[in-house]
Amino acid sequence: MRLAAVGLVLAAALAIAAAAAAADRPSPADLEAELVCPTCKTTLDQSDAPVARRMKAYIRERIAAGASADEIKADLVAQFGRGVLAEPPKEGFDLLAWVLPLAGVVLGAVLVGALAWSWSRGREPPAGPVEAPLDAELERRVDEELARYDG
Amino acid sequence: MAGRAKLVAQGLAVAAVVALLGLLVWKIAFDRSGGAAAELERGESPAAPLFLLKRLDREGMLSLADLRGKGVVLNFWASWCVPCKDEAPLLEEAWQQHRRRGLVVIGVDAQDFEGDARRFMKRFGITYPVVYDGKGSTLGRYGITGFPETYFVDRQGNLVGERIAGGLDSERNRERFAAGIELALRRGAMHDAAASQGP
């Protein structure tokens, strides 16, 4: 009875370990969406080119051999170059590919904002008419006319 | 102030349009996107783009520049390409037949797994030099549009003859292949003059 219980526990532990390993294993579909066929320049999952078919077979072989997604990608980059990665890595010089478009959008927004602000200031309605002061002679004559009118 | 900003913006817009027009003119005038193949098809004899690549037939590297003085048949292939399998015996035959005359057949295995290429060479008994260009760095400069493609390089290092796109076939393009080999092996005018003078 005790032996059976130990066996059951061991079997459960093995099953859990196997499930965990399967969960860590990369999926061919995910990798095929992240890698590009070098001849047709589309992702492997979209390509039926001979080289793409060979690369898909290679991915499955490597997964079956227990390789991780990063290891498989590194192998393919070593063979075919960085062009097989659908997205550039987010490190080193390749980081520029991610940063520059964002920087361009931000810079463009700032530029458009600054221009809009500048133009809107230029279109402010002009202030009301400014009354020029009368010269002394004209003021004297106006005063005289008004005094005569009042009188 | 606003007027000045507007003027600057207009100036920038005009400059951008002029720059784009300049790029368009430059692209049309100096377009080399077709690589050396495009020049060859225009009847020119451009210098064969040089390369330095790892050899698969033995250890070490092979530089095309080091083959100056020899006629070269350059064959671009990959192990996954079906016509490449059919033409492999013809290339081996040409190498065996003309190597004493100074011909070198070079296989450039591109966009391929190195292990697959080695297996291919063994399977088809390839003994001529083969280099590995997995990343395809030579393809754009030559203007390769598919596999296989074959070029001929003369003793001066220039591309000559006709590019053969597609598999070599003993019926379909045998004459073009033979003519390319003869052009590649032809001695240059300077060399002929020197040779005729004798020691």
B59 closest CA partner among B162, B129, B135? B129
Tell me the percentage of chain B whose pLDDT exceeds 70: 91
Q: Does the distance separating the beta carbons of A79 and B114 come in below 8 Å?
A: yes
Question: Phi-psi bin for B31: left (phi > 0), alpha (psi -120 to 50), beta?
Answer: beta
pLDDT score, position A6: 63
**Helix ranges restricted to H, A48-150:** 50-64, 69-80, 95-122, 136-150
User: Which chain A residues are closer than 8 Å to B116 by Cβ?
Assistant: 54
Q: Does the distance separating the beta carbons of B134 and A81 come in below 8 Å?
A: yes
Is the separation of the CB atoms in A122 and B6 below 8 Å?
yes
Residue matched to tokens 């061919």: A28
- Which of B1, B7, B113 would you mutate first to test chain A, the one with the most A CBs within 10 A? B113
Q: Does the distance separating the beta carbons of A79 and B134 come in below 8 Å?
A: yes
Q: Tell me the average pLDDT across B46-66.
A: 97
Residue bearing the bigger pLDDT, B148 or A4: B148
The per-residue DSSP string of A2-32 comes to HHHHHHHHHHHHHHHHHHHHHHHSPPHHHHH
User: Which chain B residues are closer than 8 Å to A115 by Cβ?
Assistant: 5, 9
- Which of A40, A75, A85, A115 would you mutate first to test chain B, the one with the most B CBs within 10 A? A115
User: Which chain B residues are closer than 8 Å to A121 by Cβ?
Assistant: 1-2
User: Which chain B residues are closer than 8 Å to A83 by Cβ?
Assistant: 135
> Angle of helix B82-98 relative to helix B114-123, nearest 10 degrees?
60
Q: Does the distance separating the beta carbons of B111 and A39 come in below 8 Å?
A: yes
pLDDT tens track for A73-123? 999 999 999 999 998 777 777 788 888 889 999 999 999 998 888 888 776
Q: Please, what is the average pLDDT of chain B?
A: 89
Task: Identify the closest residue of chain B to A53 by CA–CA distance.
Answer: B80
Looking at CA atoms only, how far is residue A50 from chain B in angstroms? 6
Position B28 pLDDT exceeds 80: no
Q: Please report the number of interchain residue pairs, chain A to chain B, with beta-carbon separation below 8 angstroms.
A: 46
CA angle centred on B10, ends B6 and B13, rounded to 5°: 140
Q: Which residues of B touch A (CB under 8 A)?
A: 1-3, 5-6, 9, 78, 80-82, 111-114, 116, 134-137
pLDDT score, position B192: 44
Other C-beta atoms closer than 10 Å to the C-beta of A63 total: 17
For the ranges A26-30, A93-97, B16-20, B27-31, which has the lowest average pLDDT? B27-31
ipTM above 0.85, yes or no: no
Looking at CA atoms only, how far is residue B32 from chain A in angstroms? 20
Position B176 pLDDT exceeds 60: yes
pLDDT tens track for A37-69? 999 999 999 999 999 999 999 999 999 999 999
**Whole-angstrom Cα distance, residue B135 to residue A85?**
12
Q: Does the distance separating the beta carbons of A122 and B111 come in below 8 Å?
A: no
Residue bearing the bigger pLDDT, A11 or B111: B111
**Whole-angstrom Cα distance, residue B96 to residue B81?**
23
Tell me the pLDDT band of A3, cut-offs 50, 70 and 90.
low
> Angle of helix B2-30 relative to helix A95-122, nearest 10 degrees?
140
In the sheet that holds B130-133, the strands lie side by side as: B61-63, B52-55, B130-133, B103-110, B71-77, B149-153, B159-165
B111: nearest CB among A80, A122, A123: A80
pLDDT score, position B189: 47
Q: Tell me the average pLDDT across B55-59.
A: 96
**Whole-angstrom Cα distance, residue B76 to residue B35?**
14
- Which of A40, A80, A110 would you mutate first to test chain B, the one with the most B CBs within 10 A? A80
User: Which chain A residues are closer than 8 Å to B2 by Cβ?
Assistant: 118-119, 121-123
Q: Does the distance separating the beta carbons of B6 and A81 come in below 8 Å?
A: no
**Whole-angstrom Cα distance, residue B76 to residue B105?**
11
Residue bearing the bigger pLDDT, B88 or B29: B88
pLDDT tens track for B146-171? 999 999 999 999 999 999 999 998 78
For residue A94, what are the contacts with CB-CB under 8 A and spacing of at least 6? A82, A88
User: Which chain B residues are closer than 8 Å to A51 by Cβ?
Assistant: 78, 80, 111-112
Position A27 pLDDT exceeds 70: yes
Q: Does the distance separating the beta carbons of B5 and A79 come in below 8 Å?
A: no
pLDDT score, position B199: 34
Retrieve residue A48's tokens. Answer: 């039926």
Is the separation of the CB atoms in B90 and B176 below 8 Å?
no
pLDDT score, position A127: 63
pLDDT score, position A22: 54
Position A31 pLDDT exceeds 80: yes
Q: Provide the 8-state DSSP code for B103.
A: E
First and final C-alpha spacing in chain A: 133
